[in-house]
Chains A and B, each alone.
Chain A
Amino acid sequence: MGIEEILIYGAVQGSVYALLALGYSLVYGVGGILNLAHGAYYLIATYAFYWTWLILAPIIGGIEGFFIGMVIGLIVAALVGMVSYLLLIKPLKEHEINVLMGTFAIGFFCEQLVIALYDPKTHSIPTIFYEYINILGKPIQVHWIIIIVASLIIVTLVTIFINKSKLGKSIRAVSQDPEAAMLMGINADRILMYTVTISALLAGVAAVLYVPVDLVAPYKGWPILTGAIAVVILGGMGSLTGSVVGAFIIGYVRIATNYLIDPVYSSLVPILVIIIILVIRPRGLFGKKEVN
């Protein structure tokens, strides 16, 4: 396995992590909340995608079913995010511990829900972008490239959104100082709801992009959650730049461990990162309280 593979697949991992971490960091920056249900958003999105595709593909055709599945996955992800906020996070905002436990419980609930509604087995959604093209001299499935490109576009869009749009500026205001923002007439509560919804949507984007080359399984929520947390802790909570940088660092380290050492150890990488960073430099690389 050559350096080219590592470069490309590392970029793919980094792109996926970036999407996940971006949303996570936003929620932390705005609400000070560590949302342990982030994995659940990803999980539900993958299942919504899978079921839609399963049902529609024989009727409409593989390609249309695939695309509609993606869209449904995104919508469901955003909905779950909004519902989880309204039901659980909003009423419990004063007590951090309760928010933690509640979102932790949502994670378990979603895992059991998909097992109850479907089955505990692993499935997969074959990608429609399965042709190979040559990158750096090696044959790579187009889908991987799409992941990198799509993620890049979306991260850029989100950054522009945060910096230029009115909602984005409100989000930044609330993350800097909720009370001052409220004095300015911004409904901090509403903003937090939008932020959680956006973060769930971003997790959904990561899900629908990544799952055709990965597996649909009930336990997938947890590695996603630990990955997102690792990236955000490495990059610094509340820093969007940090999330992207951290995402690619961890993505590359994982792929490098995969190819150069042994695949079984790659799942340990995010965890080790979390522990080491929390002990040495809890702030992370770019850590600050505000979203920037």
Chain B
Amino acid sequence: MSLNIQKFREKFIGFPTYLKHWVFTFKGGMTLFCLFILFLFPIVTQNPYFLGIFILAMIYTIFAASWDFLAGFTGQVSFGHAIFFGLSAYGVSATLVFNNFTWWGALLVGVTIAVTTGFIVGIICLRLKGPYLALGTMVIAIMLQDLFKIGQLKDYLWGDQGINDVPPLSNSSTVVYYTILIFMIITIIVLIQITKTNIGTIFKSIRDDETGAETSGINTTKYKVIAFMISSAFAGLAGGFYAMYIRSVGPLIFQPLYSFYVLIMAALGGIATISGSALGAFTFIFLSEILRDLNELDPSNALLTAFSDPAFIFSVILIIMIRFVSQGLLRPILEHLKEFWDILLGR
């Protein structure tokens, strides 16, 4: 125990020097630059539309990061991450609308629901490997969507219409922006730090060779469930913010499309790079908006409408990516940028 305290103290004291060195590395500089832009953005523009795009991108970043953590680092690929996202969204909406909770109280409820569900799903999926796990999670998500749609259960589950008029986090978009920005930064830092600890190594060992990990005496059951719970907690966080941003929630939140979106974002950024989900999410949202503007250029042109549908374009992008670039875009882009940076600095 005292060894741990000693290590912690070393890390804590050494942190400012670490920070100084990190800033001057390429990755550190890049990250700070992006954070700088993000922090300054609301000062540049107060337009709720633009702020909204960034807010949505940040929410999806949290969501995608949670998926990346589970899939990229622990090897549990889930095609149904919308389960935690959606259940938390419902929980947050319900407590906000019917029980008059504050936003962080509701968020706490949502995350708790998500973590509990993560625990249950983790246990259910314990024996499932690879494709069966993806299948099982996808199927649970579809089941939730059908369940919440059922008219007969409307009194308990709100049916097709779902919950509407959910109060927002705050009436000022700027406040919402900064809150979510801070949560996003916390999420990414926490998740990356977890991967760097001993537990993180255990997760990676489960991903790379589960039998080997078991043979080494690691209780893979326990750690797989823990991984699910961590991932679902953050997915639930994203879900709660989503509900407060979109201000309504319905059975469609469980549809395979959303789990699919999260997959694309994480894949775009690079699976097993938590920070890649930020790149993926922002690219995704920007592309969607560009596509929507393309669409509005000429609403009467049916062909344009159809082909600029985000789901269509993204399924094509995903197919192309999976086929040719399965490691994601973040690393190659960063490497090219790094070469550029080195040339600039004359190395």
B152 touches A274 (CB 8 A): no
Pair B322/A112 contact, Cβ less than 8 Å: no
Q: How far is the CA of A165 from the CA of B307 in the complex (A)?
A: 44
User: Is B342 an interface position by the 8 A CB rule?
Assistant: no
Report which of B135, B147, B257 forms a contact with A108, defined as CB distance below 8 A.
B257
Q: Is the CB of A272 within 8 A of B143?
A: yes
**Roughly how many angstroms separate A102 CA and B316 CA in the complex, as a whole number?**
10
Bound CA span A282–B126, Å: 11
Q: Is the CB of A268 within 8 A of B143?
A: yes
Partner of B322, one of A92, A116, A264: A92
Contact call A34/B135, Cβ cutoff below 8 A: yes
Complex Cα–Cα for A34 and B303 (A): 33
* Interface hit among A13-21, A93-101, A137-145, A243-251: A93-101
Proximity bits, B137-176, A CB within 8 Å = 1, else 0 = 0011011001100111000000000000000000000000
Q: Does B256 contact A (CB under 8 A)?
A: yes
Q: Which residues of chain A (1-53) have a CB below 8 Å from chain B?
A: 34
Among A96, A101, A111, the residue within 8 A (CB) of B318 is A101
Q: Are A282 and B127 in contact (CB under 8 A)?
A: yes
- Contact B128 A264, beta carbon cutoff 8 Å: no
| Nearest-neighbor residue (CB-CB) of B320 within chain A | A105
A106 on the B face (CB < 8 A):
yes
The interface residues of chain A lying within 8 Å CB-to-CB of B150 are 264-265
Complex CA–CA separation, A104 to B79 (angstroms): 9
B260 located at the interface, meaning its Cβ lies under 8 Å from any Cβ of chain A in the complex: yes
User: Is the CB of B196 closer than 8 A to any CB of chain A?
Assistant: no
Most buried by B among A91, A95, A275: A275
Flag whether A271 is at the interface (Cβ < 8 A): yes
Give the Cβ gap from B315 to chain A, nearest Cβ, in Å.
Answer: 4
Query: A104 CA to B262 CA in the complex, in Å?
Result: 13
B311 at the A interface (CB under 8 A): yes
Q: Is B15 an interface residue (CB 8 A)?
A: no
Contact status A108-B260, CB under 8 Å: yes
**CB pair B146 A229 closer than 8 Å:** no
B77 touches A226 (CB 8 A): no
Check A100/B319 contact, CB under 8 A, given A113-B312, A264-B152, A268-B143.
no
Complex Cα gap A102–B146 (Å) = 25
A222: chain B residues at CB < 8 Å are 142, 256
Interface size class, chain A: 35 or more
Does A105 contact B152, Cβ atoms closer than 8 Å? no
A266 to B: closest C-beta gap in Å? 10
The reply to whether B326 and A96 contact each other, CB–CB distance below 8 Å, is no
Q: Are A264 and B151 in contact (CB under 8 A)?
A: yes
B263 adjacent to chain A (CB < 8 Å): yes
Which partner residue on chain A sits nearest B305 by CB separation? A116
Known contacts A113-B312, A222-B142, A268-B143; decide if A279 and B323 are in contact (CB<8 Å): no
Contact: A97 with B130, CB < 8 Å? yes
Are the C-beta atoms of B139 and A229 separated by less than 8 Å?
yes
Interface membership of A154, Cβ < 8 A:
no
B59 smallest CB distance to A (angstroms): 21
Total number of residue pairs linking A and B with CB closer than 8 Å: 110
* B334, CB-defined interface residue at 8 Å: no
Min CB–CB distance B301 → chain A (angstroms): 12
**B139/A109 in contact, CB under 8 A:** no
Contact B136 A274 (CB under 8 A): yes
Point out the residues of chain B lying under 8 angstroms from A88, CB to CB: 319, 322-323
Residues of B within 8 A of A87 (CB): 319, 323
A87 to B312, CA, bound (A): 18
Contact A109 to B146, CB < 8 A, known contacts A92-B323, A278-B128: no
Report chain B residues within 8 Å CB of A59: none
Q: Mark A104-129, 1 if CB is under 8 A from B, else 0.
A: 11101101110111000000000000
Bound-state CA distance A112–B306 (Å) is: 8
Chain A nearest CB, measured from B280 CB (Å)? 14
* Complex-state Cα separation, A262 to B150, whole angstroms: 11
Least Cβ–Cβ distance between A43 and chain B, in angstroms: 13
A116 touches B140 (CB 8 A): no
Task: Identify A268's interface contact among B131, B146, B263, B267, CB under 8 A.
Answer: B146
User: Is there an interface contact between A105 and B132, defined as CB atoms closer than 8 Å?
Assistant: no
Q: A274-B135, A275-B124, A282-B127 are in contact. Are A105 and B307 (CB under 8 A)?
A: no
Give the distance in Å from the alpha carbon of A115 to the alpha carbon of B318 in the complex.
18
Residue-wise, chain A 207-233 has the 8 Å CB interface mask toward B (1 for contact) of 000000000000000100010010000
Asked if B108 is at the interface (CB within 8 A of a chain A CB), the reply is no
Instruction: Write out the residue numbers on chain B whose beta carbons fall within 8 Å of the beta carbon of A96.
Output: 130-131
Q: Does B335 contact A (CB under 8 A)?
A: no
What 0/1 pattern do residues 246 to 267 of B give for CB contact below 8 A with A? 0000000000110010010001
Smallest CB-CB separation from A276: which chain B residue?
B124
**What are 22 inter-chain pairs, A to B, with CB distance below 8 A?**
A34-B135, A88-B319, A88-B322, A100-B131, A101-B267, A102-B318, A102-B319, A102-B323, A104-B263, A105-B319, A108-B315, A112-B311, A112-B312, A116-B312, A117-B306, A262-B152, A264-B151, A271-B139, A271-B142, A274-B139, A275-B124, A282-B128
Nearest 8 CB-CB pairings of A with B:
A116-B306, A112-B312, A109-B315, A108-B315, A34-B131, A271-B143, A105-B318, A102-B322
A105-B260, A265-B150, A268-B143 known, 15 other contacts, Cβ within 8 Å: A88-B319, A96-B130, A100-B134, A101-B263, A102-B318, A102-B322, A108-B256, A109-B315, A112-B309, A267-B146, A268-B146, A274-B139, A278-B124, A278-B135, A278-B136
